[in-house]
Amino acid sequence: MCELLGMSANVPTDIVFSFTGLMQRGGGTGPHRDGWGIGFYEGRGLRLFQDPAASVESEVARLVQRYPIKSETVIGHIRQANVGNVCLANTHPFVRELWGRNWCFAHNGQLADFSPSPSFYRAVGDTDSEAAFCDLLNRVRQAFPEPVTVEMLLPVLVQACAHYRSQGVFNCLLSNGDWLFSFCSTKLAYITRRAPFGPACLTDAELTVDFQAETSPNDVVTVLATAPLTSNEAWTRMQPGEWRLWRRGECIADGSV
């Protein structure tokens, strides 16, 4: 099964440390060899890097690892294919435009016999993940032809995720660059780092970072991952059916279905 990586921060922050740990799971310490991708929001823009190769062997992944892109919202993914061929079109995260913003989505899990009715948004590849993303945006577009606040949008997102969860495993991350929505079907964890900062040690690589030297006292950074990325920090595991909405590193809404 795939693994997710997300970040929400109150200041532009690089995710090189967490990405270094995740890429080892893409064919090194883990079996997720069927592609990887990561999207960095920069205002309304989105820098997207993808490669159908294993992240542990990918030159593009090494580029991202060496290039400390700073962002307030990030979504990443490493793939272990179960539906769809190993190719660029099937590589997460997926991106579509809605209400003049780039919406970015990544999914961990599998939906059984999932074939939603065609509508405005259609999948380019042949994964259940992209089909679910398109179906989700179609639900949003049908409910709200014009932009609404995320508070008004939340019931539609939660109801859709509950529906997908009823058809299989649906752990996901979704963002429009302003907020980050996380839904746990089976497995998703997070950690919020704030002052006083300390050292963090990766589980999948011999790398330690002292965040005290890399941050300011007002920084708030939340990292989400399918499984905790560090060995010396207390991560919080989300419960099945739990959802959380993040903005600028803080959880601004949460609930369960």
**Residue 119: inside a domain:** no
**Residue 140: inside a domain:** no
For 188, the domain range is: 3-110+169-256
Q: What is the mean pLDDT of each run of 10 residues along the chain (257 residues)?
A: 94 94 91 94 96 94 92 96 88 97 97 90 95 98 97 98 96 98 98 95 93 90 97 97 98 97
> For tokens 């011999």, what's the residue?
206
- Does this model's pTM top 0.85? My answer is yes
Give the total number of structural domains in the chain: 1
pLDDT given at position 153: 98
**Residue 97: inside a domain:** yes
**Residue 145: inside a domain:** no
Instruction: Give the H or E element holding residue 10.
Output: strand 3-14
> For tokens 């419960």, what's the residue?
239
**Residue 121: inside a domain:** no
CATH of the domain at 227: 3.60.20.10
**Residue 139: inside a domain:** no
**Residue 210: inside a domain:** yes
pLDDT given at position 73: 98
Q: From the CA atom positions of the chain, what is the Rg in Å?
A: 17
Question: Contact at 8 Å (CB) between 209 and 199?
Answer: yes
Please list the active-site residues. 2
**Residue 147: inside a domain:** no
pLDDT given at position 83: 78
